[in-house]
Amino acid sequence: MNTFSNPLRKSRFNGFPEHSARIKTWLRQALNLAENVVSVNELSCSQAGCPPRQTVILVLSDTVAPRKFAVHKSLLDVVEEDVIAAIENGSLPANEDFSGDGR
């Protein structure tokens, strides 16, 4: 029996994969996406003025430039209305730093 536990492994809360899939579905429906790759990640930030946790959604496509959408909530707190609001607020250029200050 292997009892080794990797101390560097990021722990995932219950519901992360399922809720991430829901966020992807909401975004795909709102933007009418078919074959695009959608990535959903929760990031932390320790810089002043930055929320402690934010959910970042990245859309990759062969035909258009990559797009990023940010919701200033933890992944498990994001609801469909948050995704719609992020879309309405517009996407960020994919090369822009998430904190917006270039760091």
What confidence score (pLDDT) does residue 97 get?
44
Instruction: At 62, give phi and psi (nearest 5°).
Output: -75, -20
Residue 43 lies in a domain: yes
> Which residues of the chain register pLDDT less than 70?
1-13, 91-103
CATH at residue 83: 3.30.160
Q: Assess if residue 2 is contained within a domain.
A: no
- pLDDT tens string 68-83: 999 989 999 999 999 9
Q: How many domains does the chain have?
A: 1
Give which of 91, 102, 1, 100 is closest to 51, Cα–Cα: 100
Q: At what angle do helices 80-89 and 16-31 cross, to 10 degrees?
A: 50
Confirm whether 5 is domain-assigned: no
